[in-house]
Amino acid sequence: MKDRVIRNGQKSGSSSLAAFYGWAKDEVIRSGFSQEIEWQRKCNLSTFDETDLLSELAWVCFCSGFKEVIVRRAFDYLSLCFCDWESAAEICRKKESCFEAARAKFNNPRKLRAVIHSAEIIHAEGFAALKEKIIVNPLKELRRFPYIGNVTAFHLAKNLGFQVAKPDRHLVRLARAAGVGNVQVLCNQISSLTGDPINVVDVVLWRYATLGGGSVTV
């Protein structure tokens, strides 16, 4: 893959930043990841339901400290183990059988128990009431869940449809190289220039970096 760079920590002009993003997006699509872009584009904070919250909580929890490709290979099986994320009540009712079945393929008891604890929080509070709180103050409310910290809260909020970017190491590096120093500002600028939602910009830049295109001169 040919490298494109944002050079020398100089703050990029609007035209060069938009051109870089367009080139990165084309590379992501050519590499077969257009479905990720479309999935993120369809995420809507007003319509996410209990199944969405449970599955995205589990996804972010499992991905914390693990390579995304490893979790992706196991996630369909794990979803079956956890009742296809049908409801928090169902997971709570079957929590021991869920745990044992999931452990057969994903032997990380702490993360599996964290998923069950997340379901217990949702079940105890009620999804409707919890969703109202999340919409008002997403990052604060999402940090209540296990394995959801200052960075992963952005990841989870993005996956639920909020217009935020996850400040992971890939995007932090790109932001610094662009002379911005802040992932949210970088994605906001690109969104304004291109019309792509902020969370879509995040996905494009992150996937581009994972494909080996993150050769950024800082």
Non-local CB neighbours of 8 within 8 Å, separated by 6+ positions: 217, 218
Query: How many domains does the chain divide into?
Result: 2
Q: Same domain for 29 and 96?
A: no
The pLDDT of residue 167 = 93
Say how far apart CA 111 and CA 3 lie, in whole Å: 37
Residue 7 lies in a domain: no
- pLDDT for 14-60, tens place per residue? 678 899 999 999 999 999 999 999 999 999 888 999 999 999 999 99
The pLDDT of residue 2 = 40
Say how far apart CA 199 and CA 36 lie, in whole Å: 11
Q: Same domain for 123 and 173?
A: no
* Percent over 70 (pLDDT), the chain: 91
pLDDT-derived band at 13, boundaries 50, 70, 90: low
The pLDDT of residue 15 = 73
φ/ψ of residue 105, rounded to 5? -115, -25
64 or 11, which is more confident:
64
Question: 32 is in which domain, residue-wise?
Answer: 14-42+165-213
Is the sign of the CA dihedral 127, 47, 84, 59 positive or negative?
negative
Helix ranges (H only) for 67-218 are 68-81, 88-93, 95-103, 109-125, 127-136, 138-142, 152-159, 169-177, 183-194, 198-208
Neighbours of 148 (CB within 10 A): 23
- pLDDT for 74-107, tens place per residue? 999 999 999 999 999 999 999 999 999 999 999 9
Question: At residue 3, does pLDDT exceed 60?
Answer: no
Q: Same domain for 155 and 171?
A: no
Q: What are the tokens at 197?
A: 């939602």
Q: Same domain for 102 and 79?
A: yes
Question: At residue 1, does pLDDT exceed 70?
Answer: no
Q: Same domain for 175 and 108?
A: no
pLDDT-derived band at 127, boundaries 50, 70, 90: very high
Q: Same domain for 25 and 70?
A: no
Non-local CB neighbours of 151 within 8 Å, separated by 6+ positions: 166, 167, 168
The pLDDT of residue 66 = 87
Mean pLDDT, residues 202-214 taken together: 86
The pLDDT of residue 10 = 40
- Distances in whole angstroms, Cα of residue 36 to Cα of each of 17, 43, 214: 22, 11, 18
Neighbours of 49 (CB within 10 A): 11
Q: What are the tokens at 72?
A: 């992706």
Q: Same domain for 110 and 131?
A: yes
Question: At residue 187, does pLDDT exceed 90?
Answer: yes
Residue 1 lies in a domain: no
